Amino acid sequence: MAGHHRLAVCAAVAVHLCLLLSPSSALRWLSDPKADSTSTTNSHGSFRTAYHFQPTENWQNDPNGPMYYNGKYHFFYQYNPFGATWGNGNLSWGHSVSDDLVNWSALDNAMDPDSSFDINGVWSGSATILPDGTPVFLYTGIDADNNQVQNVAFPKNASDPLLREWVKPSYNPVIPLPDDIVHDNFRDPSTAWRGADGLWRVAVSAKFKTGAGTTLIYKSKDFRSWERNAEPLYESWVAGMVECPDLFPVAEPGAENGLDFASANGAGVRYVLKQSVMETLSDYYVVGRYDDASDNFTPAEDAAGDNDCRTWQRFDYGHVYASKSFYDAGKKRRVLWSWANESDPEPNYIARGWSGVQTVPRKIWLASDGKQLLQWPIEEIESLRKNRVGLLGAEVNAGGMNEIIGVAGAQADVEVVFEIPALEHAENLDTNQLLDPQRLCGEKGASVQGGVGPFGLLVLASSDLQEHTSVFFRVFRHDGKYKVLMCTELRRSTTRADVYKPPYGGFVDIDIEKTRSISLRTLIDHSVVESYGGGGRTVITARAYPEHAQTGGSSHLYMFNNGTGVVKVSKLEAWELKAATVNVAGGGLAMVGSARGGEVY
């Protein structure tokens, strides 16, 4: 009760998160004797990321054609070589290569808008590895009449390990605009796959002139002549235009290995269909069955019954879009990329000279319940860890906050496991509140005292705590069961008023009554806060622009608990992360011979 009172008084006077400080001496920190003191300094400005993928400068958006080819990873992306906005140039495909998905070397653009069938833009598409090992691109071109058409491109020299040059045959487009499709809503071919009949299939997003959003299937034997199926793979009258479809098989529930279409066989194989919904700028996926005889996809659960993909699950409840996965034949896993746009005003990023990052590549696999995907940062990210601090058994008292000292908070990786000794204080939740977790996170932010939680991390915090981004859980009771909410709240992330600072939230599908604990991993990278709750069941990526970072202040990291009961911390490990070599001048792979202007290796 005393804690409750002090918080209430505090809330009346404070302008920032109002939590009571408990002495950090309650915690026992273990420093890694191998601690590395090399600099993590980010030399590109305070919001520029140090280990998330970015081109050297300018605008990027969707991930395109990621692939593993002859021992190297290739990443292509929607790129405007002429500036930091999407709209002041016709888009190209940027291109970088990597040995480890962490350190990247920039190459010349793979494709520029230089042909009649893509003169107004080389838009999104995918790579497919043919049975002889050669890669091929299918992509959308905006043609001279501003129609969207689908084109093909091949490597000029498939024995070049860097696949520097790509050839677009003059017979493009291979799939012209159909009569029944809206001219500027026909795009984003998926990775192609081969059915038992030996024909290739590709999924393409479209909007019928009648109004329905759809995903069409085209079939081909040679990647040149394509014929459309009468039945779409997906169609909805309510979800609007869907973009960037991704269809892929997953291994049996709980198995972490990935599958590609060639290795997925048998009636029991489950597939995932992902759609990017233009109206909400969010990605949704569902697990289901795909039959390559009829090219039908049936969601395992279709609660709404009208194919409304907005009712499916989210890869990420934060600020990401247009994700694309690929099968990594090197490590036999499926890896997901997603674009995280800026969320401050355009003049700001024009002034910075760059816009858009990619989330850390994530391994994805089917959870043991068979219903949802689990996501985890690829293990290679751990090669950047240095200066570990660890914590042996601690408690964060009601109203408590403890600083995690010993790591630079602007470039960090934090893993923490919270144990919840008692659940009886959980707040009640009504059915309406269940429907909108984002709104719930806004109403019940970190500063609103709860029963069980909110507890979690404050990251990118200024010394005076005026600025902080909170990542936290809150446990509710609904209908005799417990529900765990995960939030990332940006209201106090910066004192600047011109930034989009929403709350983000999703429920975590765990039985907290049974586990009595929940994990949180947060990757912090200057303007990115990427958090994995419940072992990767719920993921939230947010962009933050703390002013203190611009004025030379350091960023701090805290654990907090603003519930009425104690929360135990059974494990905490935090690392500073070194800067990766991401398309920086002078930092490329030794064998990269030619590169974009100004980046000579």
User: Active-site positions?
Assistant: 62
Q: How many CB atoms lie within 10 A of CB 314?
A: 18
Q: Binding pattern to ligand DQQ, positions 263-302, x when CB under 6 A?
A: ----------------------------------------
Provide, rounded to whole angstroms, the least separation between the CB of residue 380 and ligand DQQ: 26
For ligand DQQ, the binding residue among 126, 140, 313, 375 (CB under 6 A) is: 140
For ligand DQQ, the binding residue among 244, 410, 475, 557 (CB under 6 A) is: 244
For ligand DQQ, the binding residue among 98, 120, 186, 188 (CB under 6 A) is: 188
CA 144 from centroid of its chain's CA atoms: 33
471: its two tokens = 């990542």
Q: What is the amino acid identity at position 186?
A: F
**CB-based contact 115:168 (threshold 8 Å):** yes
Between 323 and 387, name the residue whose CB sits nearer to ligand DQQ.
Answer: 323
Sites for ligand DQQ among residues 97-136 (CB under 6 A): 123-124
Between 93 and 376, name the residue whose CB sits nearer to ligand DQQ.
Answer: 93
Based on the shown chain and the rule CB under 6 A, indicate whether residue 246 belongs to the binding site for ligand DQQ.
no
Q: Pairing relation of β-strands 282-291 and 270-277? A: antiparallel
For ligand DQQ, the binding residue among 95, 135, 150, 243 (CB under 6 A) is: 243
Between 125 and 377, name the residue whose CB sits nearer to ligand DQQ.
Answer: 125
In the chain, % helix, strand, coil (3-state, to 5) comes to 10, 45, 50
Helix (H) or strand (E) holding 135: strand 135-142
Based on the shown chain and the rule CB under 6 A, indicate whether residue 61 belongs to the binding site for ligand DQQ.
yes
Between 283 and 413, name the residue whose CB sits nearer to ligand DQQ.
Answer: 283
Between 79 and 476, name the residue whose CB sits nearer to ligand DQQ.
Answer: 79
CA 167 from centroid of its chain's CA atoms: 31
Question: How far is the C-alpha of 45 from the C-alpha of 194, rounded, in Å?
Answer: 46
Based on the shown chain and the rule CB under 6 A, indicate whether residue 91 belongs to the binding site for ligand DQQ.
yes
The count of chain residues that interact with ligand DQQ, using the rule CB under 6 A, is 13
Beta strands in 411-555 (DSSP E): 411-419, 427-428, 452-461, 469-478, 481-489, 503-508, 517-525, 528-533, 538-543
Provide, rounded to whole angstroms, the least separation between the CB of residue 321 and ligand DQQ: 6
Q: Pairing relation of β-strands 538-543 and 528-533? A: antiparallel
Burial category of 45 from C-beta neighbours within 10 Å (exposed 0-12, middle 13-18, buried 19 and up): middle
Between 141 and 450, name the residue whose CB sits nearer to ligand DQQ.
Answer: 141
**CB-based contact 498:346 (threshold 8 Å):** no
Gyration radius from the chain CA atoms: 24
157: its two tokens = 């020299």
**CB-based contact 200:212 (threshold 8 Å):** no
Based on the shown chain and the rule CB under 6 A, indicate whether residue 62 belongs to the binding site for ligand DQQ.
yes
For ligand DQQ, the binding residue among 44, 72, 168, 187 (CB under 6 A) is: 187
Provide, rounded to whole angstroms, the least separation between the CB of residue 539 and ligand DQQ: 19
* Residues at the site binding ligand DQQ, with contacts judged by CB under 6 A: 61-62, 78, 91, 123-124, 140, 187-188, 243-244, 321-322
